[in-house]
Amino acid sequence: MRSKNLLLSAVFLISTAVAFTAINPQLSFGVAERGAISFPQIDQKFAKLQDPIIVDRYNETLEFKITVNGRLDQATLLLGSVGRSLETYIIPSSKILDDGYSYKFKIAISELPPALIHLGRMDEDVLTASLILANEESQSKNIFVELFDLRLAFSLDDKWEAPVRLEAKHEIKHIFGNPPKAAPVWISVIFSVAIFVISNCVLITWRAMPAGQTTQSATINSYLVYFAIVLMEYVFVKYYLGTDIFRTMRDASLVSFLALFVVSRALRQLSTKEKEHVMKQ
């Protein structure tokens, strides 16, 4: 009994250590005149076919079928130029059989990327088909082998060019917009002089008013009013000399808050003096 258990354990360990095996591999063509190609059993020691398989039709469709003796997490057929590191992948259709799983890979030549079709038609290059059979739970059983080479022997009027790699890209030329136009100098000078004259008139008028007279009763509000008027004049003169409208609006807003505060205080002072003057009369 003990020897039987040991034998069963040994058989189990050997079966789990053996890699996946693809049996009955076969490559068929889309034309009946061309017979299918049978492959030997595919395992980790499989050797690629020596002679490339010739494909002489652009609309050719090849089918590669295998049967695997176990469940797979990945079954993928890679096709491309190994030397140029340019490949595409093909996902199979699968079917559950009594003795395992059947996978069928469909290789439509006309649906391959233009780069692979171009390389496959070159005399010094072939397209290599590689098979991946993998399972996450038993990685030691996975298979990654090269199966066969394809050489495309049909004529095709393609103008494909290899992409530029590891080289400088074409220079991108960009034309920036012209700077915003300012008013002519003579107009700017006229408006600046006008603002200067009007501002001085405002200062003189304020100076002549009771709230602006520099007597012993004058307060600091009068000087703040002078300062606010001069600041506003400075902001608008800068605008007419070329400062952009957004900066002018920002500066004018700040000066306006100051002017509103000091002028309101000065006007209240003026109103108080007027009331006192009326009461004295």
Note the pLDDT of residue 209: 62
Note the pLDDT of residue 7: 40
Residues 143 and 28 grouped into a single domain:
yes
Neighbours of 191 (CB within 10 A): 16
Note the pLDDT of residue 95: 83
Residue 182 within a domain: no
Note the pLDDT of residue 4: 41
Residue 267 within a domain: yes
Note the pLDDT of residue 13: 40
- Average pLDDT for runs of 10 along the chain of length 281: 42 48 89 85 89 90 89 89 88 81 91 86 85 84 90 78 65 73 73 76 69 52 75 80 81 83 75 66 59
Q: What percent of the chain has pLDDT over 90?
A: 18
Note the pLDDT of residue 235: 84
Contact 147/138 with Cβ under 8 angstroms?
Answer: no
CATH code for the domain of 96: 2.60.40.10
Domain count, the chain: 2
Note the pLDDT of residue 90: 93
Residues 148 and 222 grouped into a single domain:
no
Contact 88/63 with Cβ under 8 angstroms?
Answer: no
Q: Which of 102, 121, 152 is the last residue of a domain?
A: 152
Residue 181 within a domain: no
Q: Which of 152, 168, 191 is the last residue of a domain?
A: 152
- Region of 96 (left: φ > 0; alpha: ψ -120 to 50; beta: rest) is beta
Q: Which two tokens stand for residue 178?
A: 């012209």
Q: What is the pTM of this model?
A: 0.52
Residues 28 and 124 grouped into a single domain:
yes
Residues 122 and 227 grouped into a single domain:
no
Residue 202 within a domain: no
Note the pLDDT of residue 34: 84
Residues 148 and 244 grouped into a single domain:
no
Query: By residue range, what is the domain housing residue 114?
Result: 22-152
